[in-house]
Chain A
Amino acid sequence: MEKILLLKYGELVLKGLNRKFFNNKLLSRVKQQLKKLTDAEGGSFELEYAQSTLCVRARDGADINAAAKLMKKVYGIVSVCTAYETEKDMDSILNIIKINARSLIGSAKSFKCEARRSDKKFPLTSPEICTLAGGAVLEVFPELTVDVRNPDSTVFIEVRDKSAFIHSGGEKGAGGMPNGTNGKALLLLSGGIDSPVAGHLVAKRGVSLDCVYFESPPYTSDLAFDKVKQLAEKLSLYCGSIRLFSVPVTEIQEKIFSDCHPEMTTILLRRFMMRLAERVAERCGAAALVTGESLGQVASQTMPSLVVTDSVAGIPVFRPCIGLDKEEIVTIARQIDTFETSSLPYEDCCTVFTPRHPNIRPTIEQALREEAKLDVDALIENALSQTKSVFIN
């Protein structure tokens, strides 16, 4: 008896002629993740694609449970199922059920069996398989009741071409499209709760990510950068390697602070960020920007503010959190395990020169009038020249 992972593909099975491209990308991501595991802990994994399912078998002591955990973070996989694999004969199937009844049933009080038979030559029909399998479960746990409508637990028996799989259902995978199938975008990663979620939502559609972080040394600390790095690391578990750029905006902030109207501080900084991000995107080959903005959440995210910010961006800006409430964003942040890190208290650059009363209805004309007091191009070039980056894999 061997444990096996059954990875069910999502919407890419609906692709037409280019399906192979998507399959290959997904396969290479799966291989890359499993290699991390075998490099660290030894063993190997064998992959076999059959009937819209990628089967992963552990060899030489590789850890199938750790693999299952990793596979739940691979975009393109909708379900991760740990199953017992056995020969295609009823005695072996029943034997597996009896031996593993506890792990298949858990603490359920009622159950049912569901059989699927893609090998139509198998001597028993699906209902017949279910009857025998149910009998095997009851032999071990006679106190259980059978409930075919609303069972606490279900035992699945899948008779496939080469072998049979027995399991109690799959866990939800990350879904979406495989990494690298939809170009690259640059995420403006702040260290807050929203931007990692925005990154995840875009990356889930097959987009590769790089990230840019704006810092204000010496007013922001290395701890704040470490926090952002940790967030990028958590994101990279889903979306693959990330280059994290950090751009110092202290000089820009000081100039805005000394020369411009205090109410416009935040919006002017946001415009600089967009310009800088676009230049970084150019440098790393990203075709769009991604931000964690959510309409109306803070002063810089009102509709007029977004219009003023957006007007300096020469490439598309994706804002996948735009219509989400904070609570909804937090739910996703918890799912992708970025919430705790985002909640660390270190200040980012946006909080250094925050005006007491920011303008929540700025206009493009106002912004241009204020920017006329600054040497925008020189400030941009100077900040870009001090850009640093780290590679997160």
Chain B
Amino acid sequence: MTEKITYLDNAATEKPYEAAIEAMVNAARCYGNPSSAHTAGRAAAELLEDSRKTLSSVVGCEKDEFYFTPSGTFANNAAILGTAYRHIRRTKRIISTDSEHPSVELPLKRLESEGFEVIRVTTKDGLPDYEALENALMSPTSLVTVMHVNNETGAVYDIAKVRSILDSTPSGAMLHCDNIQGFLKESNPLRYCDMMSVSAHKIGGVKGCGGLYLSKTTRISTIVEGGGQERSLNPGTEAMPAIAAFAAAVKERTADSGRDERISELKSYLLSAVTKIDGIEPNLPKNSSPYIISLSLIGVKSEVATNYLSSIGICVSAGSACSSKKRENRVLTAYGLERTRADGTIRVSLSPSSTKDDIDKLCAGLRKITERIIIK
């Protein structure tokens, strides 16, 4: 990959920190299996526990409440399916929103096909319908699963409010939060959650590692059988290189204390620049993350725009990277965009290493597209 690219697709994945790569390589050299009792195994086990300590302290939980998983997707699946099956005798009712990531939406669909009732509250304009949530929670429910930061629009959903509604209603539901786009980017919603998913490569770790916080009082069924690792939640040999890199990335990220302010400034800079370009309209939820900016190019298909930007070295995505292999605009339509506008929406996502220069290059590219192909 050329070094000169302008990378603004950080919600898909971030460039790993050098420290994370180094930790990954070192962990690969420390090749023992953490489950083995011999010297090599114990060295790996020690690294595993050190990493868990780092993660749990940043996540804000006890060490044995944090489980390493192979991905954020796995963490979401484990939490949703595990809770649904655990409480199957009490209730087969689950509440979520209409704009969740496929790693939440698809397990929910699977549960529906198995006879579960799934209620999805609307999230028009990036605002969950809290009243509908409250009404839905009047009946016995096993799980409420709501994302913290929407991966396509950047809308921030109020997890504290969800908790307070949940506590004031008689459903008996657990609360799971997909915090994959919010981890170390938004205020930490952990204290409101019974379960929370995170992912390493969204914050400068490497691919192959996610994590699930599971409060001590929460019991879920396991969805994969195997050797009992991670207290049977993810019962395979631990991916030590990715786990060690996750811990290293977390340390790097938390050491950069001014990151959120910088990113907020960059977002303002981007928004003021794009408002000067005819044919581009940002989609701004009332409460939004500074890291994700959704832009609609009126009359241009998002894939056409991303192809053009890619040809001049600028990487952004159409909608979300996770659903870009399918023609669907479920999330943007739920946000309230018309089909044609959703078809022309791109996502710009920032990281602590993004610069004003990146934004300038992006705006120059966008200007060229709108001048050349905005449909009359």
What is A's interface to B at a CB cutoff of 8 Å?
Answer: 217-221, 254, 257, 262, 344-347, 351-356
Contact = CB atoms under 8 A, between A and B. Distances in A.
Contact of A352 (B327, B373, B376): B373
Interface of B: 299, 301, 303-304, 307-308, 310-312, 324-327, 372-373, 375-376
Contacts of B376: 262, 355-356
Contacts of A351: 301, 304
Given A219-B373, A262-B376, A353-B373, A345 B308 contact: no
B152 to A, nearest CB: 16
A268 to B, nearest CB: 14
Contacts of B310: 218, 221
Contacts of B299: 356
Given A262-B375, A356-B375, A345 B304 contact: no
Contacts of B325: 344-345
B303 A217 contact: no
Contact of B301 (A262, A344, A352): A352
Contacts of B324: 345
B372 A347 contact: no
Judged by DSSP, the binding face of A is: loop
A254 B308 CA distance: 14
Contact of B308 (A218, A257, A355): A218
Nearest to B372: A254
A386 to B, nearest CB: 15
B315 to A, nearest CB: 12
* Residue among A220, A221, A351 having the largest count of chain B Cβ atoms under 10 Å: A221
A353 B369 CA distance: 12
5 contacts: A217-B311, A218-B308, A219-B304, A221-B303, A356-B376
A346 B311 contact: no
Q: Can you list the 4 inter-chain pairs with the closest CB atoms, starting with the nearest?
A: A218-B311, A262-B376, A221-B307, A219-B304
Contact of A257 (B304, B307, B327, B373): B373
A11 to B, nearest CB: 41
B307 A220 contact: yes
A343 to B, nearest CB: 8
B303 A347 contact: yes
A345 B327 contact: yes
Contacts of B375: 262, 353-356
A215 to B, nearest CB: 10
A218 B309 CA distance: 8
Contacts of B372: 254, 257
Contacts of A355: 375-376
Contact of B303 (A254, A257, A346, A353): A346
Nearest to B307: A221
A347 B327 CA distance: 10
A349 to B, nearest CB: 10
Residue with the highest number of chain B CB atoms closer than 10 Å, among A254, A262, A347, A355: A347
User: Which among A218, A220, A346 has the highest number of chain B CB atoms within 10 Å?
Assistant: A218
Given A219-B373, A354-B375, A356-B299, A347 B304 contact: yes
A191 to B, nearest CB: 12
A355 B325 CA distance: 25
Contacts of A346: 303
B308 A219 contact: yes
